[in-house]
A and B are shown apart, each in its own frame.
Chain A
Amino acid sequence: MKIDIILAGVGGQGILSIATIVGAAAIKRGMYMKQAEVHGMSQRGGDVQSHFRLSDQPIASDLIPLGKADMIISVEPMESLRYLPWLKKDGWLITNDQPFVNIPNYPDFDALKAELAKVQNCVAINADQIAKDLGSARSSNMVILGAASPYLQLPYEEIENAVRENFARKGEDIVNVNLACMKAGRELAEKK
């Protein structure tokens, strides 16, 4: 098994915790992993991405070749489209549909939605609203992880365990709300 994922968002939106959780679950299974992150200047509100690779065979490159990513997982809609050159033809794009506007020339929201609709396999959900309804506005990244989970080829319970471990030191309440967010995202994606 081999899965290549581009994680996308804006600096500070927490795309790396998605990688940390999935990575922990995969490592427990004895899989190989490589994850290239962006640190430094771009973290100041710029576009950030992470190349996240899992395989049961050793992985050569830290970067995913263009046209070879199985998935784009994004917490911001415009950012999800920035990485289409990496997505393979039958790959999946899982994204939050709520724009993060910190530039004056951000595109028209409807035009953005229309562009997302053109992607063959796309799950775009309002992760911000779901997270807010469940009482943790900051956990929209976990909703997105949930929406991506059916395509990850990892048993859902193992991802849940990784979420538990990741948030354990923050207390039971935080663990539960993040699990609930992930589950809500998963259920929504399965309906689509």
Chain B
Amino acid sequence: MSKALFLGDEAVAQAALDAGLSGVYAYPGTPSTEITEFIQNSKQGKAGEVHSIWAGNEKTAMESAIGMSYAGKRAMVCMKHVGLNVAADPFMNSSITGANGGLVVVVADDPSMHSSQDEQDSRYYAKFALIPCFEPSNQQEAYDITYYAFEMSEKFRTPVLIRLTTRLSHSRSGVERKAERPQNPLNVEKDPKQFILLPANARRHYRKLLDKQPEFENDSLNSPFNQYIDGADKSMGIIASGIAFNYLMENFEGGKCPYPVLKISQYPLPTKLIAKMVDECGKVLIAEEGYPFIEEQVRGVLNRTGNIMGRLSGELPRDGELNPNLVAKALGLPDTYGAPVPELVVPRPPALCVGCPHIDSYTALNKAMEKYGKGKVFSDIGCYTLGALPPYNAIYTTVDMGASITMAKGAADAGMSPCVAVIGDSTFTHSGMTSLLDAIYENTPITVLILDNSTTGMTGGQDSHALGVLGEICKGLGVKEDHIHRINPLKAHLDENVAIIEKELEYQGVSVIIPTRECIQTLSRRMKKQQAAKK
């Protein structure tokens, strides 16, 4: 079969389709978004043969996928690393229920934080949940692993985690496909106790999960994705996982590394292979993208011999992505470098687009806040986070999805006044609604701006669950109707918008202001499509 060019994300998506997927559940998040988009744009996605509509957040996505697995069909959940924090509750418990239909959780980590707030490593979550974990090193392996993950999930009746990292998610290469498998028929879980996690059942299931651990490790030991490649020079052995394996091999012409190499792409760790390497080689260098996950396990807390090297011992940096040069230095090979960057080259940070409605919202908010001084606006995760940068300097916090409203509440509880929250429409339905309910319940004096650009903007314009219903949601939650305002964020309306914000800042209760104007990116895309249709 000929090779198709796929991003790592797309390779995962295609493999899931070929493996007989019935539904993907996800909330957009860089670098994972393209997996679900690929399925939405596929033949099966468009025809509605595979469910692929965006979920409200990662937790609802995970739960829907568990439900589909319960019904006997194959389900996949996709998210970025911090999304797994949101989905952690159902994720952890899914390891106790186990899977009926194949259940695969794909998490794309973002080491170096290209588009994220932290660089947490999802392999810890798989270990925490005691389930198998895969870490593909290239696009073909991303395909092969995903295809196998569904098989393994059904064989061992367990959810399986696939961990991607940014460079694999967003790098393109040729991929060969396998034969298409049909979807599972509806086949509801036969054991009536399997998915009821009452303590008595859960204890029994947990024991079963513990009993499966040696089988999981045995699968890792015999996995084609884990390879022990022998080398003549036993003065050092190298363990390289995921994409770090590529950076290692880049340093040797034709991939001929003189040292023994253990490539890891499946966990739990194959202890026997690691023991073999430690026994045969004087010292072991461990290269992994993300946290020193393998290194911590191999060296233990004492590491009395000091023969395990990697991110903890300083041969490789403790934080950030790896690259071929960092691995070369750790190997003691000469580093390469071109000319330095000329001094006149300055950073070009991302910025709000020309014509973005958030610009007008921040102009109005800044004007209304002038008399109150700095530090009183809490914000959230989205394009509007760029309001932290000049020339706006409009917001003072960004922590996690939904935190703007609850942090404003906490600060108001502490006696700060006024307290303003700025959150996007999609982020609000993702995690802001329960936060707002907390404030309504106590009638906390906060002013919430829900910037409604009618899309999930930062990740490229996915549909927002809040479309057209934000006012109704706020009213339904209990915000008083005369303290809910829709405003039009345009220069022409600046004065009236400022007046509305000023008035609500003085109100000693919960008010919601909804600046409403479509994202300039989705608008121009829509216009182009309309024009093309006219021709």
Contact = CB atoms under 8 A, between A and B. Distances in A.
A174 B171 CA distance: 28
Interface stretch (B144-152, B204-212, B336-344): B336-344
Interface string B492-507: 0000000000000000
B424 to A, nearest CB: 14
A41 B29 CA distance: 11
A37 B344 contact: no
B440 to A, nearest CB: 32
Given A44-B383, A46-B351, A65-B328, A27 B342 contact: no
Contact of A27 (B174, B246, B348): B174
By size class, the interface of chain B is: 35 or more
Contact of B351 (A36, A84, A85, A102): A102
B115 interface: yes
A63 B244 CA distance: 11
B460 to A, nearest CB: 8
Most buried by A among B7, B173, B247, B458: B173
A190 interface: no
Contact of B336 (A47, A61, A65, A102): A65
Contact of A40 (B31, B138, B173): B31
A58 B240 CA distance: 19
A57 B336 CA distance: 22
A119 B249 CA distance: 31
Given A39-B30, A85-B338, A61 B247 contact: yes
Interface in A43-85: 43-47, 51, 57-69, 78-79, 81-82, 84-85
A111 B246 CA distance: 39
B174 A63 contact: no
A188 B535 CA distance: 35
Contacts of B339: 84-85, 87, 119
Nearest to B3: A27
Nearest to B80: A40
B384 to A, nearest CB: 11
Contact of B172 (A35, A57, A67, A105): A35
A41 B114 contact: yes
A3 B7 CA distance: 20
Contacts of A66: 325, 335-338
Contact of B344 (A38, A67, A107): A107
A46 to B, nearest CB: 4
Contacts of A176: none
B338 A67 contact: yes
Interface in B341-388: 341-342, 344-353, 383, 386
A78 B345 contact: yes
Contacts of A111: 344
A153 to B, nearest CB: 19
B176 interface: no
B459 interface: yes
Interface string B1-37: 0010101000000000000000000000011011000
Interface in B294-344: 323-325, 328, 335-342, 344
Contacts of A35: 171-173
A84 B342 contact: yes
Nearest to A87: B338
B255 interface: yes
A81 B345 CA distance: 7
Given A66-B336, A102-B351, A103-B346, A36 B167 contact: yes
B259 to A, nearest CB: 16
B344 A34 contact: no
Contacts of A37: 7, 170-172
Contacts of B246: 60-62
A39 B346 contact: no
A106 B351 CA distance: 15
B99 interface: no
B31 A61 contact: no
B463 interface: no
A112 interface: yes
Contacts of A86: 338
A124 interface: no
A102 B348 contact: yes
A107 B348 CA distance: 12
A111 B342 CA distance: 11
Given A40-B459, A62-B243, A63-B324, A46 B350 contact: yes
A23 interface: yes
Contacts of A67: 336-338
Contacts of B349: 46, 103
A33 B5 contact: yes
Contact of B170 (A11, A39, A68): A39
A25 to B, nearest CB: 12
A59 B168 CA distance: 14
A118 B342 CA distance: 10
A115 interface: yes
A45 B324 contact: no
Given A40-B458, A41-B114, A61-B324, A84 B346 contact: no
Contact of B323 (A41, A65, A119): A65
B353 A45 contact: yes
B458 A41 contact: yes
Contacts of A79: 348
A130 B44 CA distance: 43
B250 interface: yes
Nearest to A10: B348
Interface of A: 10-11, 23, 27, 32-47, 51, 57-69, 78-79, 81-82, 84-89, 91, 102-103, 105-108, 111-112, 115, 118-119
In the A-B complex, the 7 residue pairs with the closest CB atoms = A40-B30, A40-B115, A67-B336, A46-B350, A61-B250, A44-B350, A60-B249
Given A39-B170, A67-B337, 19 more contacts: A34-B172, A39-B30, A40-B115, A44-B383, A44-B386, A45-B353, A46-B350, A46-B351, A60-B249, A61-B247, A62-B173, A65-B323, A68-B336, A81-B342, A84-B342, A88-B338, A106-B346, A107-B344, A108-B344
7 contacts: A35-B173, A39-B34, A46-B348, A47-B348, A61-B247, A62-B243, A118-B342
